[in-house]
Amino acid sequence: MSATRDIRTATSHVSCDVCGRTLLRGERADTYLAGGSRREVCELCTPRARHAGWVRDGAALERTRVVPGERRRSLLGRLRRRDRADEASGAREPAPAPAPAAPRRPAPAQPRREPAHEPRHVRAVPTSVEQRVAAALGHFNASEHPRTIAGVARSLGVPAVVARPLPEDASVVAIVVAWELCWYRYEVDLSDGGPAVRAAGQGYELGDLEPEDRAEPNAVADDYGTLAPA
């Protein structure tokens, strides 16, 4: 149903609000809205009124009328247009935040293990004097000292060799290799943990030796300085 159009004929003195002239008898005037007030416009000035942005009174009513269901359709259309715009721009609804991880329980403490000790190799000390002397001569021959004996023997000849366990320490055997002009004394430790062979002294006078070290020789030396029981 269209809105009623307000048309006035020139039965009274009506002036056009555009051109300012008084309308003739029988000439119609249309009512326009401009700036919140009503304006009368003759048929000749209608284009000028529209160009100025004036709105005809009936057209304004038609614009403000809302057809049932039109508001719902327009709202749905706006929502669809907004969805299409979001898809075009790549916007997406933010993903839900991940649920917080459950706290991890600390692992039970493991019992502390003591470091394994390496097995201790214990050397058995021979009981008899002959066995201790033989073991000491074997350790001496395995050391670097036979080269010294061989070098001196090439100049001074065959030495006299006395090997005897020390009375104050039965696990230590003293070995004295002597010539008329010099002597060398070594000690062989047969106990566990001690150095096997060590140089204990040397000299040039046989009188500097203990009487036991100048006793009857009980071992011999070959050309390579290797010692053996006599």
pLDDT at residue 117 is higher than 80: no
Sign of the Cα torsion 135, 138, 142, 146 reads positive
Specify the pLDDT at position 121: 47
pLDDT at residue 91 is higher than 80: no
Amino acid at 27: E
Return phi, psi of residue 213, to 5°.
Answer: -80, -10
pTM metric for this prediction = 0.47
pLDDT band at 122 (very low <50, low <70, confident <90, very high): very low
CA distances from 91 to 51, 83, 98, 191, 221 (A): 42, 9, 20, 88, 102
Amino acid at 64: T
Tell which residue, 196, 207, 202, has the closest CA to residue 173: 196
Q: What does the DSSP assignment read for 122-170?
A: PPPPPSSHHHHHHHHHHHHHTSSHHHHHHHHHHHH-SPEEEEEEETTEE
Mean pLDDT of the chain: 79
pLDDT digits (tens, 9 = 90+) for 51-78: 888 888 776 555 555 455 545 555 556 6
Helix (H, G, I), strand (E, B) or coil at 45: helix
* Token pair of 206 as six digits: 């046989």
Specify the pLDDT at position 43: 86
Tell me how far apart the alpha carbons of residues 194 and 172 are, in angstroms, rounded to a whole number.
10
pLDDT digits (tens, 9 = 90+) for 5-17: 555 554 567 889 9
* Token pair of 1 as six digits: 């149903």
Q: Where are the domains of the chain?
A: 1-89, 129-229
Specify the pLDDT at position 53: 86
In DSSP terms, 227 is beta-bridged to 221
pLDDT at residue 83 is higher than 80: no
Specify the pLDDT at position 115: 56
pLDDT digits (tens, 9 = 90+) for 185-199: 999 999 876 668 999
Tell me how far apart the alpha carbons of residues 140 and 146 are, in angstroms, rounded to a whole number.
7
23-28 mean pLDDT = 79
Specify the pLDDT at position 164: 95
203-228 mean pLDDT = 94
163-191 mean pLDDT = 93
Q: What does the DSSP assignment read for 20-33?
A: -PBPPTT-EEEEEE
Tell me how far apart the alpha carbons of residues 190 and 196 are, in angstroms, rounded to a whole number.
7
Contacts of 15 (CB under 8 A, 6+ apart): 21, 22, 23, 40
Helix (H, G, I), strand (E, B) or coil at 222: coil
